[in-house]
Structure 1
């Protein structure tokens, strides 16, 4: 299969490309050229920015990809550019979306007055009623925050009769290379043999996660399996623990004997008080993907956590002052 991937040189994209190359597919990449890896030297590269995509249409037609994978479509305009660039020269677009499309995300941010939707959230769960979820978030350094909205991306890509789409809604992704270091704040306290302090409602909050290699495998499967055509899928773990349960699992793997202490919000130090409505859970249901495409994680949770912990230890060692 011939696959063209957009922006697939980073934390999520690179492991996907590795898996597709291992499977023997012919790969081309469209990216800015800012980051790359020597292992990708043997494949075809197109260098440009997203707004330049339509300018490469003739070159894309010569490559004639069976499927186009867009790792980072953030805005409605970007999705429209993808349609313009690849209409008539590919059979399907696979695009990465997010669990932030669900209405519970709106509630979590305090932007909705609706009651929490029950979890786990299936693909047909209510979506946000507002748009542009990151416009008003202070401290977020993100080039596209003013126009970011995965709901609009999905609407564009799933309403092209001549260019079928597949949408993959991702959870929080963790593992080696995670620039957000999702587990590091808890691990640092564990390594320092400190207790962990949480808001009471936060401790019970459920937020779906996925290990990077498992998520990459799921994306690769959706790209190469035609049964995914015209479908929207949640990706992530089979079941979502509470935050306390997730922290305890980490603690067990590092032999942490400390305590998780929960307090009402007004009894927490100011730096731990978050303006979030924790009763709005972001646990998503991945049953559809597993049943329709036969997906099973290649790496079990314990091994995934162990590998992540080892990477974070190396990161701490590399960045600690001498």
Structure 2
């Protein structure tokens, strides 16, 4: 099949691009040209900016594709531009949304797509705008019957990603564990969660391509290994052979310290992140999750060490400050009854 990916070189979309190519599809990637993939010559590359609507539509004016996969729509306006550009010139749209677009608290646990409603609080713009995007797409599906598939990743890690850890401190986690420095965790660290890795998630996108059972449907796709948040650091410690030191601070206090940095914890991750994959498995029978948390973190460590990552000094200092505040709080509480 002839497939266009808008994005195509990000943490998730690079895996989609590679798996589609390996499956024998003809893959065209549209991006700004700042990133390439291994074996770049196997892909067709279209260079430009989605923010320049006129130039984008002119570039695509004579093109048609069996499937258009949009990984870079974050608002209803973004999605509308994609639909308007390719209406009548593609057999299917696949849009990447997010598990954050579900309204909290959930109605079901594990979460089932068709029992939930969408996020409605503009205080967390990322989730709110993605929810508005989905609402627009559902309106188009109902009004025009377009073949649109929506896939909602939950928290997903992978090579090239900058979102690992509570502070999204990434390689700092390795550095702090190896050097006996404490790591910050929100709440008590016991909230259930499913940590997903990009190669597994990409299988769902690939399985949805040209799959009529997915037309007009929305799916979340996550790991099926039930963990708790502390496991993220504890498992990294097992990979490194060093037991990590974890300090726990209530989410509401973290929000008071920096609402922008910790909004994702407050609005999205303060609720159990367990999702039922039955729907995607029903419509994409080949889909399976195979990467465990341990295997995924080994993949991340290999990437950090292969590419020579360095610590983020700003995040190091911030985490040290939180740890110091926690230590003083513990000291005061221990002396409270004396």
* TM-score of the two chains, using structure 2 as the length reference: 0.75
Q: Does 1:166 align with 2:149?
A: yes
Residue 155 of structure 1 is matched in structure 2 by 135
Q: Per the alignment, do residues 120 and 87 of structure 1 end up closer, same or farther by CA in structure 2, a change over 3 Å counting?
A: same
- How many angstroms does 1:156 deviate by? 2.4
Residue 59 of structure 1 is matched in structure 2 by 62
Match of 2:195 among 209, 220, 227: 209
> For the Cα contact (< 8 Å) 1:165–1:230, is it kept in 2?
yes
Match of 1:287 among 278, 290, 294: 278
- How many angstroms does 1:238 deviate by? 1.1
Residue 107 of structure 1 is matched in structure 2 by none
Q: Which structure 2 residue ranges, 5 or more long, are not aligned?
A: 313-338
CA displacement, residues 178-219 of structure 1 (integer Å, 9 cap, x when unaligned): 1234454443322113344534x3412334331121122222
Q: Per the alignment, do residues 174 and 129 of structure 1 end up closer, same or farther by CA in structure 2, a change over 3 Å counting?
A: same
Residue 91 of structure 1 is matched in structure 2 by 91
Q: Per the alignment, do residues 228 and 266 of structure 1 end up closer, same or farther by CA in structure 2, a change over 3 Å counting?
A: closer
Bigger relative contact order, structure 1 or 2, given CA contacts below 8 A and separation 6+?
A: 1
> For the Cα contact (< 8 Å) 2:4–2:68, is it kept in 1?
yes
Q: How does 1:13-162 map to 2 (within 5 A)?
A: 13-37=13-37, 39-50=39-50, 51-52=53-54, 53-60=56-63, 64-104=64-104, 117-124=107-114, 125-131=116-122, 133-134=124-125, 149-160=129-140, 161-162=144-145
Show structure 1 runs of 4+ deviating over 6 A.
Answer: 265-268, 270-273
Q: What is the aligned residue count?
A: 294
Residue 240 of structure 1 is matched in structure 2 by 226
Q: Per the alignment, do residues 131 and 91 of structure 1 end up closer, same or farther by CA in structure 2, a change over 3 Å counting?
A: farther
* TM-score of the two chains, using structure 1 as the length reference: 0.79
Secondary structure at the counterpart of residue 219 of structure 1 = helix
Secondary structure at the counterpart of residue 209 of structure 2 = helix
Q: Relative to total residues, which structure has the larger helix share, 1 or 2?
A: 2
Secondary structure at the counterpart of residue 223 of structure 2 = coil
Secondary structure at the counterpart of residue 126 of structure 1 = coil
- Distance in structure 1 (CA, Å) of the matches to 2:106 and 2:38: 47
- Distance in structure 2 (CA, Å) of the matches to 1:3 and 1:264: 46
Q: Per the alignment, do residues 169 and 43 of structure 1 end up closer, same or farther by CA in structure 2, a change over 3 Å counting?
A: same
Q: Per the alignment, do residues 202 and 150 of structure 1 end up closer, same or farther by CA in structure 2, a change over 3 Å counting?
A: farther
- How many angstroms does 1:16 deviate by? 1.1
> For the Cα contact (< 8 Å) 1:116–1:279, is it kept in 2?
no
- Distance in structure 2 (CA, Å) of the matches to 1:22 and 1:305: 24
CA displacement, residues 66-86 of structure 1 (integer Å, 9 cap, x when unaligned): 111001111111111111111
Residue 162 of structure 2 is matched in structure 1 by 179
- How many angstroms does 1:297 deviate by? 2.3
CA displacement, residues 289-318 of structure 1 (integer Å, 9 cap, x when unaligned): 123312112444432221112223445x44
- Distance in structure 1 (CA, Å) of the matches to 2:306 and 2:47: 33
Q: Does 1:2 align with 2:5?
A: no
- How many angstroms does 1:162 deviate by? 4.2
Q: Which structure 1 residue ranges, 5 or more long, are not aligned?
A: 105-114, 135-144
Secondary structure at the counterpart of residue 91 of structure 1 = coil
- Distance in structure 1 (CA, Å) of the matches to 2:292 and 2:209: 22
- Distance in structure 2 (CA, Å) of the matches to 1:8 and 1:48: 13
Q: Which range moves more in the overlay, 252-261 or 24-33?
A: 252-261
